[in-house]
Amino acid sequence: MADVANTRLIRRRRKPFSITTLPGFTAMAVICFALLYAPLLPLVFYSFNAGTSLAFWEGFSLRWYISAWDNEAVQDATIRSLVLAAAASFFSTILATMAALGTTRTRPYKGYTAVYAMINQPLMVPEIVTAVALLIVFATIKAATGYHGLGYLIIAHTAFCIPFAYLPIRARLEGMDTTLETAAADLYATPWRAFRRVTLPLLWPGILAGAMLAFIISLDDVVITEFVKSSGQDTLPTYMLGQLRRVITPEVNAISSVLLGISVLIVTLLFLINRRFK
């Protein structure tokens, strides 16, 4: 009997710790989700309001979705936002992939921690500080060159999105077995050939996840865009901010609901991809 009791005790001690087993975990999780998502329900609900009020229900209607769809300013801002987000996602993912390879497929070197901190700097520094710094730099360049195009926004969003793309790509690299890469090198594959034929196919889910996360971050950004953009370069979030300063109508609710739907869709795809390739 003593041996059986000792065996059970050892098994209990070896059981891995899980936060879900703590008392009150479920209740706290429900409260956190309620605080996060409950405010979104009135937003979506009143986007279908037939009247102009944001607080009084006057009947169901798709009026404000149709109004936003026919609004030329919304169309221009939407196209600009999608182009900007796609460009920032593309460039930031390429740079993040290179950074992830440089910090996971090399031996530890002096200054490694500093490099890691610099890559993740936009996550640690308040966004308003980054926005002001970019404003000063780009204002100097604009004065010297006279160029006021969308390139500044693309550069700013790319720099800000790099750490968001870097984290899932790095996580994927750290979870990969290096045996196949070593075998490719033993079979005289060049570093580029080994990367293209072995590393890249295995890394692809992480790259896709990083690209989608960067796309969402760029699409939703307000602070950096508001500071860096030139006249006539409103994105959808900055257009909505401008509307809130003038006349508030449920059209803003409709646009916000569509953005929310796009974000939820992309995050769901990100979850499914990570789950599929775990």
Q: Where are the alpha helices (DSSP H) in 176-199?
A: 179-186, 191-194
Within-domain flag for 158: yes
Within-domain flag for 249: yes
- Which residue segment(s) compose the domain that 82 sits in? 64-276
Within-domain flag for 32: no
Say whether 147 sits in a helix, a strand or coil. Answer: coil
What pLDDT was estimated at residue 269? 80
For the chain, state the CA radius of gyration.
24
Within-domain flag for 52: no
Q: Is the pLDDT of residue 69 over 60?
A: yes
Instruction: Note the pLDDT tens digit of each residue in 207-216.
Output: 998 998 899 8
* Number of domain units in the chain: 1
Q: Is the pLDDT of residue 9 over 60?
A: no
Q: Which residues contact 223 (CB under 8 A, 6 or more apart)?
A: 127, 128, 131
Within-domain flag for 71: yes
Q: Distance between terminal CA atoms of the chain?
A: 42
What pLDDT was estimated at residue 174? 85
Within-domain flag for 29: no
Within-domain flag for 9: no
Domain CATH number, residue 163: 1.10.3720.10
Residue 89: is it exposed, middle or buried by C-beta count within 10 angstroms (0-12/13-18/19+)? buried
Q: Is the pLDDT of residue 2 over 90?
A: no
What pLDDT was estimated at residue 169? 92
What pLDDT was estimated at residue 91? 96
Within-domain flag for 175: yes
What pLDDT was estimated at residue 165? 92
The answer to whether 213 touches 270, Cβ cutoff 8 Å, is yes
What pLDDT was estimated at residue 205? 86
Per-residue pLDDT averaged across 102-114, rounded? 79
Q: Which of 265 and 152 is assigned the larger pLDDT? A: 152
